[in-house]
Structure 1
Amino acid sequence: MKKVLAIFFVAIIAYGCATVPVTGRRQLSLVSNEELIPVAFQQYDQFLDTSRVVTGTKNAQMVKNAGNRIQTAVEQYLRDNNSIEVIEGFEWEFKLVNEDIANAWCLPGGKVAFYEGIMPICENETGVAVVMGHEIAHAIANHGRERISNAMVLQGAFGTFGALMGQNPSAGEQLILQAFGVGGQLGMLKFSRKHESEADEIGLIFMAIAGYDPREAVDFWGRMSEKSGGQQPPEFLSTHPSHDTRISDLQELMPKAMEYYNKNK
């Protein structure tokens, strides 16, 4: 029986794999974007209905400008690498929300939200592009889909995501929450840090293609480190890399990013 189950797991993982743009990493993919994106859109609409969206301000315009430029860079990169299908079904939106939280996110399908609280750390449009590139990278790399796929394997849910939602909506909702970074069981933390580091790398390339100086990413995370005042939890208990690790990794990636920047500035 154990042998049969092992073969079953190997077959599922071998069948349901995809490749992450830019990094080329292979990832588990048991859920289609056709199933996931409509759910993400629904959650985004619900979020906007209960939030104070900012329009007509300098900050709102910076968010929109950076989003549009990085969207164009993403589409350019994917076309150049024959991977434009990665964003099939995307309907881009870039919103600023009036809430004092130093955060931003991008749901599957290209729905982006920035909070006013992160804008002072960004300082300018290039700083906004650092965050925008990182958050959009999560969506382009299908990290949410990968989280759900891994959770489905762990829970033994091998049907389609749509079938799971129909059979057990609460379980499906839990998978969605995990995909969007809600919760944080210790067993999933390393997996989350891997995604954060990968989004840093991909986002750095996207902002460089968009004509933003990627060296700003190091300065941004330096400012974020200062804001945290050394209160970050130990890295092994965090879903994000430490600020020092992040800065060091970005510095190693900088020569590659600067090549893209010098071609597109």
Structure 2
Amino acid sequence: MLKKFLLSTAVSLALTACATSPTGRSQFIYMSDNQVDQMGLQSFSDMKSKNPITQNPRYSQFASCVAQAITQQTGGQWEVVVFEDETLNAFALPGNKIGVHTGLINLVDNQDQLAAVIGHEVGHVLARHSNERLSQETAVSTGLSMVQAVSQPQTALGQTALGLLGVGAQYGVILPFSRVHETEADTIGVDLMAKAGFDPRQSVNLWLKMDKAAQGGQPIEFMSTHPSHGSRIENLNQHMNQALQMQQQARNNGRQPHCSK
């Protein structure tokens, strides 16, 4: 009787937790989006209180201009903050939060290259990758404690929770997204930037610049947890014709961003 009950419970859980990503991939999503959003909001608030925010208005305006063009394609209100940090990094969190490091802004040549990174990170949020990873990595019985742990990032559990969100670098732990998640975020991201009117071909140039910077010994948190530039560029090139068609349609509809660095 107990075995039948457990089996029935497991089947019920699997059915209720079944979801589909924007690219059509099957996902296991158990935690509520509201829970994960609250974790993202808490961690972002904590970052802003503990990490310096740039006082350079040009950096803030540039990042906000690019991010707003991207997020107009997703809907919702997104907060964008530029952190004074020379590492080449950017991130997006559940709860519609975007962080960009000054080091990344200094690296990119133009708006399109920054759009490639921001589009990729927003892609993680749209595909609910944090929720998927939290659902897979945490048992139902510890879900609540994980949510609470975000408010205590110095604890071991808090570090794990932040790492699962994808923002654990500030606390000494990074739990990278899977290769599947990264490839999916690349596809979603290049489509987002193209729909916003950015040049998707610049995404390839951006990853080449990131790889060159890594070989030069620059600290790149972003690349340390992502696929090699070769496989990423191959995947992007396979999708490029479709992305270019999206960009042309966006331009025909008057979407042509003008974000000055």
**Structures share a fold, TM > 0.5?**
yes
Q: Is the 8 A contact 2:43 2:162 kept in 1?
A: no
Q: Is the 8 A contact 1:95 1:112 kept in 2?
A: yes
Q: How does 1:67-146 map to 2 (within 5 A)?
A: 67-75=67-75, 91-146=77-132
Higher relative contact order (CA 8 A, sep 6+): 2
1:263 aligns with 249
Matched residue SS, 1:112: strand
Q: Is the 8 A contact 1:134 1:202 kept in 2?
A: yes
Distance in 2 of aligned mates of 1:231 and 1:101:
11
1:161 aligns with 143
Matched, 1:180 2:166: yes
In angstroms, what is the RMSD of aligned CA positions?
Answer: 2.9
> 1:3–1:222: structure 2 CA closer, same or farther, 3 Å change rule?
farther
How many residue pairs were aligned? 237
Distance in 1 of aligned mates of 2:184 and 2:127:
8
2:15 aligns with 14
Letter in 1 for 2:100: F
Matched, 1:195 2:181: yes
Distance in 2 of aligned mates of 1:98 and 1:51:
8
Q: Is the 8 A contact 1:151 1:175 kept in 2?
A: no
Structure 1, gaps ≥5 residues long? 76-89, 233-237
TM-score (norm 2): 0.80
Distance in 1 of aligned mates of 2:180 and 2:17:
20
Q: Deviations over 1:93-144 (max 9, x none)?
A: 1111111110011111111111011113222211111111011111111110
> 1:160–1:72: structure 2 CA closer, same or farther, 3 Å change rule?
farther
> 1:164–1:264: structure 2 CA closer, same or farther, 3 Å change rule?
closer
Deviation at 1:2, TM superposition (A): 7.7
Distance in 2 of aligned mates of 1:56 and 1:229:
28
Matched residue SS, 2:116: helix
Identity of aligned residues (%): 31
Deviation at 1:69, TM superposition (A): 0.6
Q: Is the 8 A contact 1:62 1:128 kept in 2?
A: no
2:234 aligns with 248
Matched, 1:212 2:194: no
TM-score (norm 1): 0.79
Deviation at 1:58, TM superposition (A): 2.2
Distance in 2 of aligned mates of 1:245 and 1:3:
45
Distance in 2 of aligned mates of 1:99 and 1:241:
23
> 1:98–1:164: structure 2 CA closer, same or farther, 3 Å change rule?
closer
